Structure 1
């Protein structure tokens, strides 16, 4: 078995250098890298923040409408049994957004770019809200009906925007399915890591990958995942409606308690974040570009604005107007970054673990394990008497983050697959691939004691591929979004008829349309 895994790992060995080269381009060019500040920004980062700024101005700062109205929309009563509710769509999107990256990603950004990275993460999220609005409105405009459900997202609006050519949608659907499925093993690993850490903290024992504990986790994870996934999108939404609030409430609640315990450090936090954004510590590279690049990159990768991944959740919602779901998912970016990610930042910055390391090499060894650095920060900020209990709760949150992301990946792959075929047999194949192939594959690698680093690198590669595929579509589709937004603002959200604005859609035509 080990030989098989080694072959898989070796097969994907070529991906690492390719992924790094694409993500870092053109910072890996000497002439570009020598440019002050700008030389530390890769093209993907410039592209994502650039389009966010562009969409912000074109939508006349839609972010200002993404708070009160979004909350009102989410808690409004659904008028029909078609599709899922706005709050269900929000929770499904948050299941993906609020993943392990909210802990290890943000911890990594701060450990590399310093506390100032958190400031630039906020800036990136603000503009990312406009990108999330744009892609979510497109997902709503060009969604399709499937029995009592809606399906849609990137492949559906991609096909329509690029000349209504089916081959475009087929290609986008295929790429997205690969993206989603190959992200599953990494989330499986995170679930095991979280439960293993909980067991170790509770008993004081270290469990091997061949222990009964790990075999029990394996069986339960596969069975539970398959049970939820084979129940379809509605069952996934039913469970995400429970699990997502639990993980968010636990994480935010414990984080607030930690902050209150360390209330005198709050001024220190803001000083380090604001000053560090423009005058970073030497141990973090000493340049504004390092903090800025890390904040922008990790912030946008955490909330996924502009990647097209959350468009599947946006499409399945039942809304009175397509812009409503745009506001909901835009609010999702705010909640993910400004609330959940900021809580992680509070703890890591306030613990100021790095101040005990004047040697950069020593600090590098400490920050290598992001989850260890985060847990060390937690332990630093709480009394010894409750440190273990707090660590267990935070590890449980980390496990829930990973599990809901795993469910989201498979569900979004299913929604995307509906573009290829809506037949039940084909959809069952996608569910089986996710829950009975890729989840067990991730489990087997863990039981074998292998992390398959080369295989995980495909996730980073697919992330950037999704950005490069989605952003041009958003730019081309912006006129449709602006027409819908004009109607929304002029009529205060009255039922939308696409034919009044010169184009026809399956779900937004007819004067009496209430979706």
Structure 2
């Protein structure tokens, strides 16, 4: 099975996908006139403007759910793997894919907002690539294909990576405990106890729906991310004299790669996409759940989340590891042989170990414990985000089958997620990371190709960005002048939620003469 996973992984993550991700980011950066730079201030303002309604969550909550998916093992163990296999130069390519990917995140999340609809069971807003492929392209088969791929990826392949990281981090702090045979797997009692706690808490939250997931993540994610970044900054300041050298090694090694140019760009892009998920098609699910006045607003908020994930959290991890020297570089050499060896050869690269060792070298036992706690919260919230994505796509596939089928499908997904968390927690991390890469790559292929085709069929995300900027210049967003969005004005078809909403607003304005100015 492991050999098959590696074979499929090698096919999916061929150079074609790496350059497709970078190319799509550059393509949409140019088309949006680098919206990720021009409207950076507006991104910040929008974080705290939106409010939840009866059927949707706030912009900040949607950001938190999205960040829950983005900020996870990719930020702690993924960065370590990028450095261990690709050298310091891999960090530079993570930055590049984040900068360019912010424009891709804007496009896919805006599309998610435009083509969202209400769930037949809960009435909550639902949306994502499956919805916009069906409605924008008119290709329901492609929407079904993506929905199946995302359920397999987020419901089966990816949760195990996060759970595996959590259990490894806990075991490194608390020890393995007594070895026993559990469901045919030799494992320590510490891992079994930790897994039991994870499953109880996970079940409580996911059975509460998106509102409970959003409430948990809006507090847990910012708290842990800020705490993590502060400790990383303290490490950087304690090694202040090394900062120029670290920057130099990251930038210099990106083009004269110590581990080989292909290894640096390959691992940098792979782990960058795994971490920030720009273009992967996961972000639009949370974006569609937000209650906003204009679809472009949540697209901008989601673009900002890419910066938070990679330029802040991933960079913090990279600087911790590089400044303390707690890493090995294997590159493309056989296992056990290293281009650079600073720590023991048996330290696993695809794990949080480098990061834990970096923290421990400065903060002692507290640093090791803190990383274990950070891994727990980062990875746990990511599992919640994965569940939500799988649930949305189950709703998409069963929406025409009635409420009973939709409820049954969502219940089955809950059970599958919990089983895969247990499976991933107790199995080999290398094998589990391989499955995760297959899931990420599969979704990225389908989504990036799809959103590029949408551009050539119609230009919804680009057109409404110009509309939003025009309204912004005209005073939109003030008490006297709200943002409005009429999809028919741009020839956008099948945006039924926004068509109905605009019609209702026009009726309200017509009935109240005092609102003429707003109209």
Given the two structures, how large is their TM-score scaled by the length of structure 1? 0.85
1:14 and 1:114, CA in 2 relative to 1: closer, same or farther beyond 3 A?
closer
Aligned to 2:488: 499
1:356 and 1:153, CA in 2 relative to 1: closer, same or farther beyond 3 A?
closer
1:289 and 1:512, CA in 2 relative to 1: closer, same or farther beyond 3 A?
same
1:458 and 1:112, CA in 2 relative to 1: closer, same or farther beyond 3 A?
closer
Equivalent residue in structure 2 for 1:377, among 358, 361, 364: 358
1:321 and 1:58, CA in 2 relative to 1: closer, same or farther beyond 3 A?
same
* 1:450-475 residue CA offsets vs partner (Å, 9 max, x unmatched): 43865653332222221221112211
- Contact 2:107/2:299 (<8 A) preserved: yes
- Contact 1:120/1:295 (<8 A) preserved: yes
Indicate the SS of the match to 1:319: coil
1:89 and 1:235, CA in 2 relative to 1: closer, same or farther beyond 3 A?
same
Q: How many Å separate the matches in 2 of 1:305 and 1:355? A: 28
* 1:192-231 residue CA offsets vs partner (Å, 9 max, x unmatched): 222222323xxxx755365554333232222211111011
Indicate the SS of the match to 2:279: coil
Q: How many Å separate the matches in 1 of 2:439 and 2:430? A: 15
Equivalent residue in structure 1 for 2:412, among 433, 443, 448: 433
* 1:252-297 residue CA offsets vs partner (Å, 9 max, x unmatched): 121122112222222222222222223344xx23xx4443333233
1:430 and 1:227, CA in 2 relative to 1: closer, same or farther beyond 3 A?
farther
Note the C-alpha offset of 1:321. Answer: 0.6
- Contact 2:357/2:368 (<8 A) preserved: no
Indicate the SS of the match to 2:498: coil
Equivalent residue in structure 2 for 1:481, among 434, 447, 461: 461
2:197 aligned with 1:208: no
User: Residues 318-357 of structure 1: matches in 2 within 5 Å?
Assistant: 318-353=291-326
* 1:143-196 residue CA offsets vs partner (Å, 9 max, x unmatched): 002354210001100101222x44433332222111111122232222222222
- Contact 1:66/1:331 (<8 A) preserved: no
- Contact 2:360/2:366 (<8 A) preserved: no
Aligned to 1:37: none
* 1:384-437 residue CA offsets vs partner (Å, 9 max, x unmatched): xx3111110011101211111111111111112221224554444344334433
1:404 and 1:475, CA in 2 relative to 1: closer, same or farther beyond 3 A?
same
Aligned to 1:28: none
Aligned to 1:153: 128
1:191 and 1:207, CA in 2 relative to 1: closer, same or farther beyond 3 A?
farther
Given the two structures, how large is their TM-score scaled by the length of structure 2? 0.84
User: Residues 31-430 of structure 1: matches in 2 within 5 Å?
Assistant: 42-78=15-51, 80-146=53-119, 148-163=123-138, 165-182=139-156, 183-200=158-175, 206=177, 208=179, 212-281=189-258, 284-285=259-260, 288-353=261-326, 361-362=337-338, 363=340, 365=345, 368-370=348-350, 371-380=352-361, 382=362, 386-422=363-399, 423-430=402-409
1:513 and 1:148, CA in 2 relative to 1: closer, same or farther beyond 3 A?
farther
Residue ranges of structure 2 left out of the alignment (5+ in a row): 181-186, 477-482, 507-519
Note the C-alpha offset of 1:251. Answer: 1.2
- Contact 2:398/2:409 (<8 A) preserved: no
1:207 and 1:457, CA in 2 relative to 1: closer, same or farther beyond 3 A?
same
- Contact 2:151/2:393 (<8 A) preserved: yes
Note the C-alpha offset of 1:444. Answer: 5.3
Note the C-alpha offset of 1:112. Answer: 2.3
Q: How many Å separate the matches in 1 of 2:137 and 2:13? A: 26
- Contact 1:196/1:207 (<8 A) preserved: no
Q: How many Å separate the matches in 2 of 1:266 and 1:442? A: 38
Q: How many Å separate the matches in 1 of 2:423 and 2:445? A: 33
Q: How many residues of Structure 1 are paired with residues of Structure 2 in the alignment?
A: 472
Indicate the SS of the match to 2:281: coil
Note the C-alpha offset of 1:367. Answer: 6.4
Q: How many Å separate the matches in 2 of 1:119 and 1:453? A: 24
1:372 and 1:418, CA in 2 relative to 1: closer, same or farther beyond 3 A?
same
Equivalent residue in structure 1 for 2:4, among 7, 10, 14: 14
- Contact 1:498/1:508 (<8 A) preserved: yes
- Contact 1:140/1:314 (<8 A) preserved: yes
Indicate the SS of the match to 1:306: coil
1:242 and 1:295, CA in 2 relative to 1: closer, same or farther beyond 3 A?
same
1:119 and 1:214, CA in 2 relative to 1: closer, same or farther beyond 3 A?
closer
1:77 and 1:296, CA in 2 relative to 1: closer, same or farther beyond 3 A?
closer
Q: How many Å separate the matches in 2 of 1:316 and 1:444? A: 30
